[in-house]
Structure 1
Amino acid sequence: MKISREIKTAILVLSGIALFIYLFSYLKGEDLFTTTNTYYTEFDYNALSMSSPVTIRGNKVGKIEDISYEFKTGKTRVEFSVSPKLVFSKNSTIRLYETGLMGGNALAIIRANDNDIAKSGDFISSEVQPGLITTLKNNFSGISTDLDSAIRSADTLMTSINTMVIDESEGSLKNTIAELNETLKSFKDLSNSIQSVIATNDEKIASVLDNFDKASKDLSELSNEIKEAGLSETIDNLNKTLVGVQNMLQTIDNNEGTIGKLLNDDSLYNNLEAASKEMELLLLDIKLHPARYRRILSKKEIPYQAPTEDQKN
């Protein structure tokens, strides 16, 4: 059977249309020959886009099919599809999270540990996970406040430093630096003067150093001569003598020996004092009665009479 040219043209046009529809669906992320299960969830605001991925544990298992606004509830209704191979609980949670710093968002299925299996067309509860950008946005006001306070403090510090530098009072930093500069100049002038004196009296300084060197050599030779003369032995003997004298004085102080007893015994002093008193009375009696002692060899005894006070005087 011969096919006419019109029929061939119609078949070619229909094939092109079918290919165009397939390619358009493929570019949208839809596969006309693959079946999927569709589920629904809701959020308070829309942060998704068509064809945003649906993941589970970081693996893509589906995509967003439709996003619509519910006028009655004021919420965003999201329709998403996943592979029919994925089995999860109806009590699972659909989590909205950020996929990167560029602000892309996606949905993640957080499984629940029960056997209430979700069916196509079921509604799944949702939650929103704060991301890095959201956290920074929420905290940016506090960061900006702290940064503003830090900038103000730095400005106050710089103003205080500027005031301190410009201050012309007696105790200001500027005057202090000027005085320090004058002191450094004085030290510099003193150093130059010392260098000039040294340069002018170089020969005299060298002569003084030579004389000092000679004097030290003479002292060294004198020390050697004293050592050779036996001064050290003389000092040792003197030291031994002093030790002996010290021991003798310690013996006297301890009432040991004759000298110690004589110096420390009070009875000797008392006896000497009594003998001196008796000798004084004897001499006085001889002076008053000389005749008695002229007849001392006679047999007639003359009785002793104590002198009166007038006679003593």
Structure 2
Amino acid sequence: MSRELKTGIIAIVIIALFIWGYNFLKGQNLFDTSSRNFKVEYSNIAGLTESSLVTINGLKVGKVTNIEFNRAEGKRGHLIVSFVIEKDIQFSKKSVVKIYSPSPLGGSNLAIIPEYEGEEAISGDVLKGEVETSLFTSIGERLDPIQTKLEDIMVSADSLFNNVNNILDTNTQNSLKNSVQSLEFTLAEVKKTMLSINGILDTSSSDLKESIKNTKVITENFAKVSDTLANVNIGGIISKTEMTLDKANSILEGVKSGEGTLGKLITDEELYNNMSSATKELEYLLREMKLHPKRFVHFSLFGKKAKPYTPSSEELEEANK
């Protein structure tokens, strides 16, 4: 064998080993005839790289072999991910290939969500792709509207503080300082007043206690009086009072109508006139007996006869009046 032939054979072997090693590093085994190649399209691969793992139900079944841009019209910017499955597992074309992140600090991998109904997937098929929402992506999606609202609030707060700064000029600041000083003085006076009130309350606490005690005694006495009044037969008393008043009314009606001595005395005008005349005559008689007792009484130790009384001219005049 010539030297040139040996050199050519060695070169072909080296090239073959290089091609096999390159594909092996990419996750493709050229000597494994059971391997199958699939493709899936994504608008965002979320950190997926070549040689990332492909799993089914958590089991490693292959690797990502290539990631390239889709150059078709209307699909520009989308990414086509090629991967190889080394395990002999069958699933349908309805299966979904989802990008997921096993840990917050690790890279992304592919997980095949297998479906077994429908047409079986074969090497070269394009499967449906999805991207699983990670913890940080979910937090970011929820924080985006909050961030927008916070930005609006910060703008409003900045405008508010600018307006406050414009309002709080030197004169306003001095007025506020004076108001605060006045408020401090007022609070000090209120404190003094409260101390004085506390002193008054302390000195009068004994009087208050005595007043409360007296009030308690009065309340107890009032309760006793109330019990006594409650036990008294007020209805009977009222009935007797009404009977007494009825009798008094009947007596007064009789007096008014002239019944009985008192009624006749009050209503009989002639009787009243006679009694008045008799009273005058009696008064005149008593006055005569006082002024001229000899006209009515005669007293003699020696038995002399009484001389007949001869009235004087004055008495006669007075009698004729």
TM-score relative to the length of structure 1 = 0.52
Residue 271 of structure 2 aligns to a residue whose secondary structure is helix
Q: Which residue of 1 aligns with 2:185?
A: 182
Query: Of the candidates 88, 94, 99, which is equivalent to residue 97 of structure 2?
Result: 94
Tell me: CA distance 1:182–1:66, structure 2 relative to 1, closer, same or farther (3 Å). same
Q: Is the 8 A contact 2:62 2:84 kept in 1?
A: yes
Q: Is the 8 A contact 2:265 2:272 kept in 1?
A: no
Residue 119 of structure 2 aligns to a residue whose secondary structure is coil
Q: Is the 8 A contact 1:54 1:108 kept in 2?
A: yes
Tell me: CA distance 1:287–1:125, structure 2 relative to 1, closer, same or farther (3 Å). closer
Q: Which residue of 2 aligns with 1:40?
A: 39
Offset from partner CA, 1:45-82 (integer Å, 9 cap, x none): 55532112212233322111122334335453322111
Residue 126 of structure 2 aligns to a residue whose secondary structure is coil
Q: Which residue of 2 aligns with 1:254?
A: 242
Query: Of the candidates 96, 115, 133, which is equivalent to residue 112 of structure 1?
Result: 115
Tell me: CA distance 1:261–1:56, structure 2 relative to 1, closer, same or farther (3 Å). same
TM-score relative to the length of structure 2 = 0.51
Shift of residue 89 of structure 1? 1.0
Q: Where does the alignment leave 5 or more consecutive residues of structure 2 unmatched? A: 1-11, 211-224, 278-321
* Aligned: 1:152 with 2:141: no
Q: Is the 8 A contact 2:98 2:130 kept in 1?
A: yes
Q: Which residue of 1 aligns with 2:305?
A: none
Rounded to whole Å, the distance in 1 between the matches of 2:239 and 2:102 is 108
* Aligned: 1:85 with 2:119: no
Identity among equivalent positions (%) equals 29
Tell me: CA distance 1:287–1:155, structure 2 relative to 1, closer, same or farther (3 Å). closer
Rounded to whole Å, the distance in 1 between the matches of 2:36 and 2:83 is 8
The letter of the residue matching 2:64 is: I
Which stretch of the first structure deviates more once superposed, 46-55 or 267-276? Answer: 267-276
Rounded to whole Å, the distance in 1 between the matches of 2:276 and 2:79 is 157
Tell me: CA distance 1:184–1:50, structure 2 relative to 1, closer, same or farther (3 Å). same
Q: Where does the alignment leave 5 or more consecutive residues of structure 1 unmatched? A: 1-13, 198-207, 217-235, 289-313
Q: Is the 8 A contact 1:168 1:174 kept in 2?
A: no
**RMSD over aligned Cα atoms:** 5.3
Tell me: CA distance 1:117–1:187, structure 2 relative to 1, closer, same or farther (3 Å). closer
Q: Is the 8 A contact 1:89 1:113 kept in 2?
A: yes
Tell me: CA distance 1:49–1:251, structure 2 relative to 1, closer, same or farther (3 Å). closer
Q: Is the 8 A contact 1:37 1:83 kept in 2?
A: yes
Q: Which residue of 2 aligns with 1:66?
A: 66
Alignment of 1:8-27 (within 5 A): none
Alignment of 1:135-174 (within 5 A): 135=138, 142-155=145-158, 174=177
* Aligned: 1:268 with 2:254: yes
Which stretch of the first structure deviates more once superposed, 277-286 or 110-119? Answer: 277-286
